[in-house]
């Protein structure tokens, strides 16, 4: 059985192969996908943090990037609750 690759996976493969590619170039690399499908998948990937987008100063060109794992936000462990009855005594 053939396994279909999701739109998101196809887009990520293009961005891996062509770093700093534009949204237009992605749509050209994936001619079997309608531009609206590419746009929605890119939007979804961006919201998940799996893809970064930057726009040119004029806003006419959108460039796609994979997140740099070195720049991932630090996730702090949940703080432990303070034990009861160990603070200063009021009196």
| Domain map (residue ranges) of the chain | 7-66
Fold of 7-66: Arc Repressor Mutant, subunit A (1.10.10)
Check residue 71 and give its pLDDT: 57
pTM over 0.85: no
Q: Please give the share of the chain, as a percent, with pLDDT higher than 90.
A: 47
Q: Does residue 3 have a pLDDT over 80?
A: no
For 53-82, b where at least 16 C-beta lie within 10 A, e where not — what string?
eeeeeeeeebbbeeeeeeeeeeeeeeeeee
Mean pLDDT of 25-46: 94
Mean pLDDT of 15-43: 93
80 vs 24, higher pLDDT: 24
């Amino acid at each position: 059985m053939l396994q279909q690759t999701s739109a998101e996976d196809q887009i990520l493969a293009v961005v891996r192969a062509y770093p700093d590619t534009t949204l237009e170039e992605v749509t050209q690399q994936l001619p079997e996908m309608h531009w609206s499908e590419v746009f929605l998948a890119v939007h979804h990937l961006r919201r998940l943090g799996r893809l970064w987008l930057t726009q040119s100063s004029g806003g006419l060109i959108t460039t796609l990037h994979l997140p740099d794992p070195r720049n991932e936000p630090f996730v702090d462990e949940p703080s432990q609750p303070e034990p009861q009855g160990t603070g200063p005594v009021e009196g």
